[in-house]
Amino acid sequence: MSRQPENRKPATSVDVARLAGVSRATVSHVLNGQTEKFNADTVERVRSAAAELGYVRSTAGRALAMGRSDLVVVVVPYTTFIRLQDVIEVLSSDIAELGFSMVVHFSMSRTKEETPNRLLHLIETLRPAGVVDLGGVSRRELDLIEKTGCAVLPRKLHFDVNHWIGILQARHLHSRGYTELVYAFLSDVRDDPYGRSRSAAVTEFCEAEGLTAPIHVHVPIEPEGAEEALKTVLEQRGRPVGIACFNDEVAVAVVFAAKRLGLSVPGDVAVIGAEGAEIGQAVSPRVTTVKGDVPAAVRHIRYLLAQTFGGPAPSDGIPPQEDAYSILPGETT
Amino acid sequence: MSRQPENRKPATSVDVARLAGVSRATVSHVLNGQTEKFNADTVERVRSAAAELGYVRSTAGRALAMGRSDLVVVVVPYTTFIRLQDVIEVLSSDIAELGFSMVVHFSMSRTKEETPNRLLHLIETLRPAGVVDLGGVSRRELDLIEKTGCAVLPRKLHFDVNHWIGILQARHLHSRGYTELVYAFLSDVRDDPYGRSRSAAVTEFCEAEGLTAPIHVHVPIEPEGAEEALKTVLEQRGRPVGIACFNDEVAVAVVFAAKRLGLSVPGDVAVIGAEGAEIGQAVSPRVTTVKGDVPAAVRHIRYLLAQTFGGPAPSDGIPPQEDAYSILPGETT
DNA sequence: TTGTATGCGTTATCAC
DNA sequence: GTGATAACGCATACAA
């Protein structure tokens, strides 16, 4: 059974119907799971005929008839993700499990994003079942997309993950006694939405605690640039200083820049990273970081997907997203 | 112009035809660029009508009529890519430029891959224009896919990039005087096709040069595990030893494990990484690595895409792929 | 419980 | 040059 046909054209529902001795409509119904209202005999005949012919529903025909496709567009923000592979791998698997296919769209820099909008065009031409927003969809785009009737998945970010990460970083530094805080962006061409949220959270924390507003630096991973950036920080803030970094690579760059400058870590310079990259734990000193549990974080989206498209929801309920993030203490704070 | 309609249903070619006062066929022809054989006047009327209505061709209808969709499936192998974001970002942009959309498929472990095959099913149901193989397509899958009439992009790997990386690593270590070689895989659940090619190349190099066959170790990024793995290596090979690592994270883990064990780098243990991760250059000592130029490497695929689907080819011709990879000398060899 | 008829939006073939 | 018209493969309201 399930023998692939040698002939060129793939089997259609007509072929299945003919072989099973029923009508196309019956085939369609049975194969879409409306199996209750048919003779067990009929169902079986249809199924084995389909298997025999290696029949696979054409998404094109299906999409045309239904008005929307089996595609889910995942919008990746214009930022640098250490865990991107993990995230889209898990998402892809969740999406596939619900019978959809994932198409990935990369946002561009806000300033560079042309109009008419690439994302909107993609959605108009693909008519996807839904859009999963990893943080790359602007307010304006969101409105436009929803006007097309397409579901945008984290509908409203009840909870801004990046804001939370920034708060965790600032709170940790503060709890370790640092009162002069700095936010270190990854120096890059990107104008990064994640970095914006995280640094805004640090600023907010300082306000709430009555600390001086944190300064911002852009730190390249490359050694000379990192040293330069760190020197600037010390000129402006003296020491000790606590630096919340965009990610663990920035954190590592800062830590090693400090060492080369003869500064003590965490005595003069305390450093906390984000995203919990494994590499931060392999070096000495191990960097303190905000570790995110990718599967747990993505489970939230999986839940929304299932809810929206009627698939099987994760049995273990939906945990609060805060729980997916925690401080991983290292030797740099 | 280009005002988005407030009403629910998106405009179809019928609407455009009506507004332009022509037939659907004319709309289709004009919008597909067959503009030569029509009155300039007609062409203009059609175009402005389309713009006026915010008309966007439905990929579903198009796919149905043409027998294949405007999708390109990118198959990501079951491995850990430091540069995955860069690679699929560039690919996505190239693919979009040719008028296609990218759907990403992640291969699973060879042993875990179920039959019937996920990839094949995806292709049968999506009927994509083509498949871009980043190294995740098995020989068997390739045959099956091509039997469906779908183009698989690097048709035949004239040139195995990973083999080349392994050769570069081994050659470099040898040129620095190391004769006892080791290949360090990333310790992971993955049975990684990239690692297999690279380590095979190292073995091959040793044979060709009359060196002892290299041993294989699996190194976790985490410190204790890395130390354990390194100890095993030294027991089996003594020192000095040259270690070719799967990527720069493994290299960093090995370097710091060596330091913690009181070994000198590169005196006792020489280390070379791969993929040229920025982080490897931020730490001290900077790791020697095989740096890949992602845009250059992907340009090869872009060229093939353009050739296959008739888009604009890169003007600067197609450079040999070897040129995209080079030794970036650090302080660990 | 099963079949008939129709519509979905596009492209292609062939008349005019 | 331009316009009818027929596929393309599927889903579904409705008829039987």
User: Does residue B24 contact residue B14 with C-beta atoms inside 8 Å?
Assistant: yes
Q: Is the pLDDT of residue A163 over 90?
A: yes
User: Does residue B98 contact residue B306 with C-beta atoms inside 8 Å?
Assistant: yes
| Superfamily the domain A71-153 falls into | Response regulator (3.40.50.2300)
Residue whose token pair is 């023998």 = A3
Query: Within an 8 Å CB–CB cutoff, is residue B226 touching chain A?
Result: yes
Residue type, B177: G
Q: Is the pLDDT of residue A230 over 90?
A: yes
pLDDT value, residue B156: 56
pLDDT value, residue A189: 65
Give contacts of B 69-88 with A, CB under 8 A: 69-71, 80-81, 84-85, 88
Q: How far is the CA of A11 from the C1' of C3 (A)?
A: 21
pLDDT value, residue A8: 60
pLDDT value, residue B318: 67
Nucleotide nearest to A29 (CA to C1'): D11
Residues pairing with A75 in the sheet:
A105, A133
Residues pairing with A182 in the sheet:
A215, A243
Ramachandran category for residue A238: left, alpha or beta (phi over 0 → left; psi -120 to 50 → alpha): left
Q: Is the pLDDT of residue B214 over 90?
A: yes
Instruction: List chain A domain ranges.
Output: 13-57, 71-153, 161-293
User: Does residue A173 contact residue A181 with C-beta atoms inside 8 Å?
Assistant: yes
Q: Is the pLDDT of residue A1 over 50?
A: no
Q: Is the pLDDT of residue A179 over 90?
A: yes
Residue type, B238: G
Structure tokens at B153: 């992009």
Share above pLDDT 70 across residues of chain A, in percent, rounded to a whole number: 91
Query: Within an 8 Å CB–CB cutoff, is residue A117 touching chain B?
Result: no
Angle at which helix A13-20 crosses helix A24-31, to 10 degrees, equals 100
User: Does residue A333 contact residue A172 with C-beta atoms inside 8 Å?
Assistant: yes
More confident residue, A309 or A230: A230
pLDDT value, residue A6: 46
User: Does residue A121 contact residue A141 with C-beta atoms inside 8 Å?
Assistant: no
pLDDT value, residue A3: 43
Q: How far is the CA of B21 from the C1' of C12 (A)?
A: 21
Fold classified for B161-293: Rossmann fold (3.40.50)
CA atoms within 13 A on the CB side of B298: 17
Cα–Cα distance between A284 and A291 in angstroms, integer? 18
Cα–Cα distance between A50 and A12 in angstroms, integer? 9
Q: Is the pLDDT of residue B227 over 90?
A: yes
Q: Is the pLDDT of residue B205 over 50?
A: yes
| pLDDT level of residue A37 (50, 70, 90 thresholds) | confident
Nucleotides of C under 7 A from a protein CB: 1-5, 7-13
For testing contact with chain B, the best of A55, A87, A105, A106 (most B CBs within 10 A) = A106
Query: Within an 8 Å CB–CB cutoff, is residue B256 touching chain A?
Result: yes
pLDDT value, residue A312: 67
Going by C-beta distance under 8 Å and a sequence separation of 6 or more, which residues neighbour residue A310?
Answer: none
Nucleotide nearest to B125 (CA to C1'): D9
Cα nearest neighbour of A84 on chain B: B85
Cα–Cα distance between B175 and B152 in angstroms, integer? 38
H or E stretch covering B222: none
Task: Measure Cα distances from A41 to A36, A37, A46 in Å.
Answer: 12, 12, 9
Q: Is the pLDDT of residue A2 over 50?
A: no
Query: Within an 8 Å CB–CB cutoff, is residue B109 touching chain A?
Result: no
Among B81-85, B189-193, B219-223, B240-244, name the one with the lowest average pLDDT: B189-193
Q: B265: helix, coil or strand? A: coil
Decide whether A71-153 matches A161-293 in CATH topology. Answer: yes
Residue whose token pair is 């993955």 = B190
Nucleotides of D under 7 A from a protein CB: 1-13
Nucleotide nearest to A46 (CA to C1'): C2
Span A81-103, average pLDDT:
91
- pTM over cut 0.85: yes
Span B235-243, average pLDDT:
95
Mean pLDDT of chain B: 89
Q: Is the pLDDT of residue A156 over 80?
A: no
Of the candidates B283, B318, B322, the one whose C-alpha atom is nearest the C-alpha of residue B303 is B318
* Chain A residues touching B221 at Cβ < 8 A: 278-279, 281-282
Span B134-139, average pLDDT:
88
Span A42-71, average pLDDT:
91
| pLDDT level of residue B188 (50, 70, 90 thresholds) | confident
Cα nearest neighbour of A103 on chain B: B103
Q: How far is the CA of B303 from the C1' of C11 (A)?
A: 28
B13 C-beta less than 7 Å away from strand D: no
More confident residue, B128 or B296: B128
Among A3-12, A142-151, A213-222, name the one with the lowest average pLDDT: A3-12
Mean pLDDT of chain A: 89
Q: Is the pLDDT of residue B4 over 50?
A: no
Cα–Cα distance between B330 and B274 in angstroms, integer? 12
Return the number of other C-beta atoms located less than 10 Å from residue B147's C-beta: 13
Cα–Cα distance between A224 and A291 in angstroms, integer? 28
Residue whose token pair is 């931020």 = B282
Span B229-244, average pLDDT:
96
More confident residue, B314 or B168: B168
36-55 on B, CB < 7 Å from strand D: 37-39, 41-42
Structure tokens at B245: 């690592």
pLDDT value, residue A306: 82
How does B32-51 read in b/e, with b if 16+ C-beta sit within 10 Å? Answer: eeeeeebeeebbebbbebbe
